[in-house]
Structure 1
Amino acid sequence: MLGYKPDNVRQFQADHRLDVDGDVGPKTRAALDGELVALIPGEMAKHLGAGGARGRGEACGPGLR
């Protein structure tokens, strides 16, 4: 997985209360996606449907509504 060793995958799984098997299956991929999305400002709100800028009718980017 992205250059990480199986021990790193197992640690990630343990930290996120997943089955610890070192395999990057659907649940591990979903948890990884959630962690990556959380690193991008504003993206978590979009994924959770919290509205964010788009829900308030504010501009989403240069010249966009």
Structure 2
Amino acid sequence: METRKKRRAVVNGDACVACGCCVKVCPLSAIQVRHGVRAAVDPKRCVGCGKCAKECPASVIIIQEVPV
């Protein structure tokens, strides 16, 4: 049986500068900048559309496949 996978955004927290660009473009409000330090993705809300990764000026967001 083939394992289904979903796509999710993953932030490299060590390199994130908390600019908030990803927060503005996320259609599902799945990303928040926590404590003004780094962006964090809510995996329950993220659908892996990739808008945040395209918008990130530091290129620290990637879209990964994760098992369901």
TM, length-normalised to structure 1:
0.32
Which of the two has greater helix per residue? 1
Greater gyration radius: 1
Which of the two has greater strand per residue? 2
Which of structures 1 and 2 has the larger relative contact order (alpha carbons within 8 angstroms, sep 6+)? 2
